[in-house]
Structure 1
Amino acid sequence: MSKQQQQPPKAGDLCITLHQPWASLLVHGIKRVEGRSWPAPLNVLSEHIWIHAASKVPDAATIEAMENFYREVYSVDGVTNIKFPEHYPVSVLLGSVKVVGCLKLEELVSWEVLPQGVRLEGQTDYCWLCEDPKKLVVPFQMRGWLKVYNLEKRIAADAARGLRPVLGPAPFKFPLPDLSDARSLQPGSLQNMLSQEAGSFKEPSSNKKG
């Protein structure tokens, strides 16, 4: 058990535990940006990750506040028909989303190609960009862990058979980087990369390899 816990999560078996109502809002395709105080690990990017709801029961005021927040977020883009989850279960595996990228807050809010509502979802230091929501027909009761962790293979295999695609109120595909261009990563990446290069190569140009 200890060796397994020390191993880094593998693609396809990844899971993260979130509090309600945020967990269900993500799986139902309403929440498109997951906010964290830490950046998405490299092995999470471009991968589907399981979403597990934590054990804390959300109070009615929190649910109402978050549903009102997303009504406002979508209304700026003219979307008014939002079907919120009927229930916000806890201590269950809910479904999965695909994390297609991770931006700093300032990068997300200034990325003008995105709908205004998506940019308004940015509320924390790091913003995980989520697509392709899927929910389980029957949520699976289980215990969660901190950070990103490995979902037991047996549970993942059984749960995968119960996944169904979800169509959110306004499905959106984040513009993916040009994989043929190493500098086409995300807003701000070119500037960050040039700054790193300027700090790394302080030798005279004659000493650099061509």
Structure 2
Amino acid sequence: MPNLPCITIWQPWATLIVLGAKPYEFRGWAAPRALRGKRIGIHAGARKVKRDEIADLLVRLRSDEAWTTCLRPDIAIPILEKAHTSPGILPLSHVLGTAVLGEPVRADQIVGEFGGVLNDSDRAEHCNFAWPLTGILPFEPPIAAKGAQGFWPWTAPADALDIGAAA
């Protein structure tokens, strides 16, 4: 079976990506050049969902600081409300789907997209990288997988990659 590069992301962010509420993944490093423009797996890590993190996101999404989340509130709020009530609904240790990894940009370059203000120019060098994720293809149901830090090779079931190749 072929390998697919996967990235492990904590919940609820992995689900928010796969459901279209989180168009960027943020990291302190630029995505590898060899993976840009390629399909990658989105893996939900084993870390338990923290209800206080979900509550914080909901408060910010309903305020004038919604831009600080870099989420699409109309999509994210209903997902997060369900997850706050029942954190166990978010799958852990599963590949949730695939996405095409875009060209990373500095996070301060995309905050305007969410209605925010630009970072303080004195701190721009500390800004994370925003990795665009497009062409999302969710797996239904998600596929169990252990995961790892950074990018790791996932031996995907052949039919999962056939679905991903169709995009």
TM-score of the pair, normalised by structure 2: 0.70
Instruction: List gaps (5 residues or longer) in structure 1.
Output: 1-9, 164-210
Using CA pairs below 8 Å that are at least 6 residues apart, which structure has the higher relative contact order?
Answer: 2
Question: Would you say the 8 A contact 1:30–1:70 is kept in 2?
Answer: no
Q: What code does the residue aligned with 1:94 have?
A: L
Residue aligning to 2:31: 40
Larger Rg: 1
Question: Would you say the 8 A contact 1:36–1:124 is kept in 2?
Answer: no
Q: SS of the counterpart of 1:106?
A: helix
- Give 2:14's match in structure 1, choosing from 23, 32, 49: 23
Question: Would you say the 8 A contact 1:14–1:49 is kept in 2?
Answer: yes
Instruction: List gaps (5 residues or longer) in structure 2.
Output: 83-88, 119-125
Q: SS of the counterpart of 2:33?
A: coil
Deviation, structure 1 residue 36: 0.2
Report the CA distance shift for 1:80/1:35 in structure 2 as closer, same or farther (over 3 A).
Answer: closer
Does residue 14 of the first structure (1) align with residue 17 of the second (2)? no
Q: SS of the counterpart of 1:96?
A: strand
After superposition, where does 1:29-178 map in structure 2 within 5 Å?
Answer: 29-70=20-61, 72-73=66-67, 81-82=74-75, 83-84=78-79, 86=82, 87-109=89-111, 115-117=113-115, 124-152=127-155, 155-160=156-161
Identity of aligned residues (%): 26
Question: Would you say the 8 A contact 2:29–2:129 is kept in 1?
Answer: yes
Q: Which has the higher strand share?
A: 2
For residues 102 and 90 of structure 1, the distance between their equivalents in structure 2, rounded to whole angstroms, comes to 26
Q: Which has the higher helix share?
A: 2
For residues 80 and 126 of structure 1, the distance between their equivalents in structure 2, rounded to whole angstroms, comes to 21
Deviation, structure 1 residue 116: 3.2
1:41-63 Cα deviation digits (max 9, x unpaired): 00121111100111111121112
Q: SS of the counterpart of 1:151?
A: strand
Q: What code does the residue aligned with 1:93 have?
A: V
Q: For the aligned residues, what is the CA RMSD?
A: 3.1
TM-score of the pair, normalised by structure 1: 0.57
Question: Would you say the 8 A contact 1:16–1:146 is kept in 2?
Answer: yes
